[in-house]
Structure 1
Amino acid sequence: MLQDPQGRKFSYLRLSITDLCNYRCNYCLPDGYSCDSKPDYLSLDEIQSVVSSFARHGINKIRITGGEPSLRRDLPEIITAIKETPGIEKVALTTNAHQLDRKIQTWADCGLDAINISCDSLDPRMMKAIIGRDNLAEMMAGIDLALKSKIKQVKINTVLLKQYNYKQLDHLIEWVKETPISLRFIELMQTVDNTEYFKQNHVSADEIGQRLENSGWAQILRGKNAGPAKEFCHPEYNGHIGFIAPYSKDFCASCNRLRISAIGKLHLCLFGESGYNLRDLMVKGRETELDQFIQKILQDKPDTHFLHQGISGSTTDLAMLGG
């Protein structure tokens, strides 16, 4: 298994297959997606190559991210290929719910094990104010279909924003009383171009955790392949509540995940300065070189990010690497 100099072991890979996104979420891409040249994303063969290499290193969970991964027409083939890779036990997907109600069954049939769906409000007007679209009805229909499908785990991601959905927190928590989902509140993170927005909208996730504990919620132990969320359960609720708190103490101590960008760069941290290009090695006959290069790179993984100092590396927006 891959291990860094701090002794952290890695079993989880976040694989971006596109940085293209069709939404204008005000916390990520308020001006929409822009690109100066035609993007050259990883091909299916390259994806199979790099996933196989990480599987040989003990990675057993792959999360497909974007941008918005559903914008790739070959997403079903990508899910199938990853699912069939020896050593991969779990394939997950993060989506903004674009055409979710039309596509969820196909993804389930391809072997998708888990899905995270971005939903920042249960109020159509608030949703439009945050993401720039009025598609809450379609999103809720897709979530309902996901819960009825073969997909084992359905999670909802909600970015808490002080000037927007924070006042609806109680309403969101009540949603899981009858709905068997895991609702995770994500602490807003500062990026290169959102400093003023961050100051106006940041809500401490530690505050949410304390609020849950004061209301009878109990923390659940994290699984070995779990992401960074702290998750809570309550005896009177069918669903769970979680939160991701990148500004909390020792957040990076339990890091178990690595990231591959849509153009084949390995990123050791979401908020690192740069990525390491693996693409030239994602070809038949260079498997050993790829394996050795990945092991070498991991020795450069830093102890922690520097978000507390207002340093977000080269991350200009969260669509770059799927958050």
Structure 2
Amino acid sequence: MLETSARLLQLLSLLQLRREWTGAALAERMSVTERTVRRDIGKLRTLGYPIHASPGIAGGYQLGSGAQLPPLLLDDDEALAVALGLSAVSASPVSGLGEASVRALTKLEQVLPGRLRPKFAGLRTAVTRMAAPSAPVNPEVLTALSLAITERRVVVFRYARHDGESSRRVVEPVRLVDTGRRWYLVAWDTARQDWRTFRVDRCQSVPSPRERFSARPLPARDLAAYVQKSITRSPYSHDVVVRIHAPAEEVAQLVPPNIAEVENDAGDTLMRFGADSLDWPLMHVAALGFEFEILAPPELRERALATAERLTRAAAEQTAGAE
């Protein structure tokens, strides 16, 4: 009996993981016969799970919208509370919990009873969140990307570049990265034949799944660091490096990870980031309130001297006027 229950839970987990499974694929993953799979599918149906079966060679099993939630042990109000909470976290990322909440929401919405779906949709529409510094993201886009990553499927979507131009993108998605303020997608762009980092809030349509793809060598072992470098340094004209005479822990609290890379340097802090203008780095670093040294580029030191002279003259003129 215990073995059967464990097998049913494994089968349910597999059905939630992928949009559709063939009987042969399920049998292979579970190391059982297709006859056992059919029998276990029947048992899950008696527990209230609507599992659809399509005949033929290309047919398979698909988990439909649930009629009840027996194994989750949630009543209607609890199910709504969990779904709304996960939806809120997905739209306004909480560092470290964002991607997990998307996966959980994908699974929960698949088995949410039909009688609760209008209530959930109504509550999500009625609740308005105050503006926050994070970029708003459509949870449907996140769930679609998360599912495509899990199933290793090519996706197609409309994407707005930083200059506002819209284009159709066909990509192989491999990872969602949450910076705490924005979501980014790491994917292989099939048209450009190269790795790209996409801001998920700039997706103008819900990604549509296409054929499966084979895994490629990743652009970096640490994809979070890869995304940070691509959004803070790679797109810009100047690569800025400064040494700040303050502990890295203090600097990191003032500098978001999507602005600059921050690392400890023998008690000081090395901060690296990109900029198209040399004026903005001076303003940003000076506003931190710490002593600092400019390590690169050399033009930034020249700009700092010129700015310092200009500020000194302005202060001197103000003092002279006051006398």
Name the TM tier (shorter chain).
Answer: under 0.3
Q: Of Structure 1 and Structure 2, which has the larger fraction of its residues in helix?
A: 2
Determine which structure has greater relative contact order: mean sequence separation of CA pairs < 8 Å that are 6+ residues apart, divided by chain length: 1
- In the superposition, the TM-score normalised over structure 2's length comes to 0.21
Task: Report which of the two structures shows the higher radius of gyration computed on alpha carbons.
Answer: 2
